[in-house]
Chain A
């Protein structure tokens, strides 16, 4: 058994894109865990672990986790799952990072978003799921989400939800002012001008600067500002062609006061989404459930259209948010933990996830007739999943996040945010963000190159 795994690991390393990459990965895993060979497990091992009295701790905040855990416990009555919500987003990562650093107290399984995954994967906190045969699951997931969990030749999480971007818009507002629905960014800017001229209280969208939004917009424009070479070499270029394409459009909106200065997720924001003063949202496919609960009053008025593009007719979009579940190296029962992942992020879990308002990353669910043809009453009966599933296929490939993306995002408002605050030049803000990010990377021991 053991030898088999060693062989698989060695083969995996040899197959990895670069020799250096593989060498480092092998080095770090054998160097930090005393019994590296015992890490993986076969299907029988996993089945056996799920039939043994165990308790698993799972950290996550996604509301869909609760019904998934219930179904899991019903199917595997010997495994008890403690689902703990230790915070949302950064608060969750902080606690997770602390537990990793302390060497104990981490859960067996943790929810991790795609942009935070490199940080935990490359710092050797997560189990490479290839050791459990996760590689075979590749075709179950969309290309972009599988790409997000595939780092340096390893698989560090199984995707749960995804957030291909689309344009959510207020059909009533566009109709009232006789403005056509924009399909390109130029049309979008024009629509923004017309709308604000017709009603000074209405804005085409709201944006006070959001790191996740900015990176996704650069992603859609074809930018690749972050490149990883091995696990220690990083290149940051927030002034590449894609970044400049985005700022070229967004500067026009920002400088002409066409963006509602309301911060996302605030009370004011939800009010704006309800009363029509925010006419569109360029956001991930997970938004419908949030609109239904946060802007109830606008029921029937929102619609979904593909994200505007730079070239007419050339569909392109990006992922915005979304994430999966990972097994922590600290876990004492990795086989059972992986068994949980197989359930939660596999066919059974993803159905429960989708039924509870999540947007899946599994191709089977995305392609199912019932999902595609579901008419959403909030969206006036529109089959919104048709648009959103198409978006998941149009994600521009080749994107990667930094291994310290959560920190980079935390200083976004110090840099790009300043450009937003003063309605200045976004390129200057991006340059400042690049410099601050590079400085941090160097302090953390990475070799960082900037342009």
Chain B
């Protein structure tokens, strides 16, 4: 009540200005909202609409309701792809975030020589387009004439075949780690930079050592950044597509057409014209990603409290 009374008491002119202000806000977000509706909400709704139909080469379109969703939930190839990215998420993301955190702390310690060179060289892979990065690694992994093959030949070793079906997921994880460690490092590093210097002074006075400072000041202060980076990485893992799809040309038998959920949806719609079923799979994956990202966020903020 008390908050609304000044408005009620205000002269009409102010009131109308306030009302205009209310629309003014919409005017400012308008361009964003228009684009958001056009390129985000509308496609999602359209995908949902598509997912309720079935198109056959013989028979044409028909409305099938939730049949595509039921089919997806019982589709072993779909679950195979989901489990694969889940494994990828559980293994690759912690390794990458740990390396990024380590690099950020090293930068922040101020004890590094040529720190700006270090920073840029760790970050640089992120600037390499994923397609180029994957092609490059594909050449390195080549068993006959690639770097891997040459090292094996030269030293008479057998380091395994990175493109074989048992190693391919780890090989892709390696590419992703190489690509995104620098990006995450930058998130962590900028979060470290805004920690107030007073905290360090206080710690210094209390006689805390480097690792004590990291444990009690730095890590708790950048928990928010770690949460953000985790969520980005979760989303990135579930959307894994570029790397396996490009490597498939080099290792067709190690990477199936349903290697990741995105690849499965892509191949269903563009090789098999099953647009409707692919739409259902995309919607399920979207929901699944939101749920997992939310769980990650919740568990992150619980520690905060």
A-side interface residues toward B, CB under 8 Å?
90, 94, 97, 101, 122-123, 208-209, 231-232, 260-263, 265-268, 271-272, 277, 403-404, 406-407, 410-411, 413-414, 417-418, 420-421, 440, 443-446
Contacts and interface: CB of A to CB of B under 8 A. Distances in A.
Contacts of A272: 144-145
A265 B59 CA distance: 38
A267 B140 CA distance: 12
Contacts of A94: 270-271
Contacts of B271: 90, 94, 406-407, 410-411
A267 B146 CA distance: 10
Given A209-B253, A407-B271, A445-B59, 16 more contacts: A90-B270, A101-B273, A123-B57, A208-B252, A231-B58, A263-B250, A263-B251, A267-B142, A271-B144, A277-B144, A404-B272, A407-B272, A410-B267, A410-B272, A420-B253, A443-B274
The 3 closest A-B pairs by CB, nearest first: A445-B58, A445-B56, A421-B253
Contact of B253 (A122, A268, A271, A418): A418
B57 A208 contact: no
Contacts of B56: 443-445
Given A263-B250, A407-B273, A445-B57, A414 B258 contact: yes
B278 to A, nearest CB: 13
A101 B143 CA distance: 42
A267 B139 contact: yes
A413 B258 CA distance: 11
Contacts of A90: 270-271
B254 interface: yes
13 contacts: A94-B270, A101-B275, A209-B252, A263-B251, A267-B145, A268-B145, A404-B57, A411-B267, A421-B165, A421-B253, A443-B274, A445-B58, A446-B57
B250 A446 contact: no
Contacts of B57: 122-123, 403-404, 444-446
Nearest to B255: A413
Which of A262, A272, A444 has the largest number of chain B CB atoms within 10 A?
A444
Contacts of A413: 248, 252-253, 255-257
A444 B56 CA distance: 4
Interface residues of B, number: 30
A431 B234 CA distance: 37
Contacts of B257: 410-411, 413-414
Interface string B113-151: 000000000000000000000000001001111100000
B214 interface: no
Contacts of A265: 249
Contacts of B248: 413
B274 A208 contact: no
B239 interface: no
A267 B141 CA distance: 12
B164 interface: yes
Nearest to A422: B165
Contacts of A123: 57
A446 B58 contact: yes
Contacts of B145: 267-268, 271-272
Contacts of A97: 273
Contacts of B250: 263, 266
B281 to A, nearest CB: 14
Which of B57, B254, B258, B273 has the largest number of chain A CB atoms within 10 A?
B57
A417 B168 CA distance: 15
A444 B139 contact: no
A79 B97 CA distance: 60
Interface string B192-222: 0000000000000000000000000000000
A179 to B, nearest CB: 22
Given A94-B271, A407-B271, A413-B257, A266 B249 contact: yes
A123 B270 CA distance: 16
Interface string B50-61: 000000111100
B304 to A, nearest CB: 45
Contact of A444 (B58, B164, B165, B270): B58
Nearest to B139: A267
A268 B144 contact: yes
Interface string B142-172: 1111100000000000000000110000000
Contacts of A407: 271-273
B272 A440 contact: yes
Interface string B243-266: 000001111111111100000000
Which of B249, B251, B253 has the largest number of chain A CB atoms within 10 A?
B253
Interface in B253-303: 253-258, 267, 270-275
Contacts of B144: 260-262, 268, 271-272, 277
Contacts of A443: 56, 274
A263 B252 contact: yes
A122 B142 CA distance: 41
Which of B139, B249, B272, B274 has the largest number of chain A CB atoms within 10 A?
B272
